[in-house]
């Protein structure tokens, strides 16, 4: 299981690097489009489509990164009202539901990508398989992160916060969800 935890860490670092590159590319392409449209009055025809494809990849990698970090929202009102043994059971159910969704994204996304491999993007010489591959890649990465989570907890001990499918994840002081505990109302300006 150490191999799974190491793979999880390696994939996590690769996701961060890929996310950095994708976000920089999307920002640069969008800026280029704005400059071309409003300053040169000659917009590029391909930038909007490429930015959309990059956004799809950003979304799916972001989903996997959120699974690894335990950053997805959860509804924990019911979980806080039941005993801790039931909470653990609910956490297992939540993890299984997340795994089922990731599995559907992986298998269904692969099927869709294979159907789209013969299509070409409308404004780019790009096979549509590339944007569609974001679905199975994001789903598969999420499955790896979900599988590694219990073993990461064992290795990290109590300092690893509850995450990825745990009911009531990342509680701060006062029992409220969130990294900083209870949220205070904003001071009037």
Residue 177 falls inside a structural domain: no
User: What band does 142 get if pLDDT is binned at 50, 70 and 90?
Assistant: very high
Amino acid 173: pLDDT: 42
Amino acid 156: pLDDT: 65
Tens-digit pLDDT profile for residues 103-117 = 999 999 999 999 999
Residue 20 falls inside a structural domain: yes
Residue 141 falls inside a structural domain: yes
Residue 64 falls inside a structural domain: yes
Tens-digit pLDDT profile for residues 79-99 = 778 888 888 888 888 889 999
Residue 84 falls inside a structural domain: yes
pLDDT surpasses 90 at 119 = yes
Residue 175 falls inside a structural domain: no
Q: How many domains does the chain fold into? A: 1
Residue 157 falls inside a structural domain: yes
pLDDT surpasses 90 at 55 = yes
Residue 178 falls inside a structural domain: no
pLDDT surpasses 90 at 162 = no
DSSP for the chain, written as a single string? -HHHHHHHHHHHHHHHHHHHHHHHHHHHHHHHHHHHHHTSS---SSHHHHHHHHHHHHHHHHHHHHHHHT-S----HHHHTS-HHHHHHHHHHHHHHHHHHHHHHHHHHHHHHHHHTT-B-SSSS-BTHHHHTHHHHHHHHHHHHHHHHHHHHHHHGGGSPP-SS-TT-SB-GGG-BSTTSSPPPPPP-
Q: What's the domain range around 86? A: 2-169
């Amino acid at each position: 299981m150490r191999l799974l935890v190491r793979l999880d860490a390696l994939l996590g670092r690769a996701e961060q690097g890929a996310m950095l590159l994708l976000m920089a590319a999307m920002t640069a392409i969008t800026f280029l489009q704005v400059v071309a449209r409003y300053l040169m009055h000659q917009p590029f025809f391909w930038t909007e489509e490429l930015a959309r494809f990059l956004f799809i990849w950003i979304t799916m990698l972001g989903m996997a990164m959120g699974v690894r970090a335990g950053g997805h929202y959860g509804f924990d009102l019911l979980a806080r009202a039941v005993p801790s043994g039931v909470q653990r059971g609910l956490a297992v159910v939540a993890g299984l539901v997340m795994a089922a969704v990731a599995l559907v994204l992986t298998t269904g996304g692969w099927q869709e990508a294979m159907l789209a491999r013969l299509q070409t993007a409308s404004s780019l010489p790009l096979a549509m398989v590339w944007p569609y591959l974001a679905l199975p890649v994001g789903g598969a990465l999420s499955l790896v992160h979900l599988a590694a989570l219990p073993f990461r907890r064992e290795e990290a001990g109590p300092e690893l916060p509850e995450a990825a499918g745990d009911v009531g994840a990342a509680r701060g002081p006062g029992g409220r969800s969130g990294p900083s505990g209870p949220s205070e109302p904003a001071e009037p300006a």
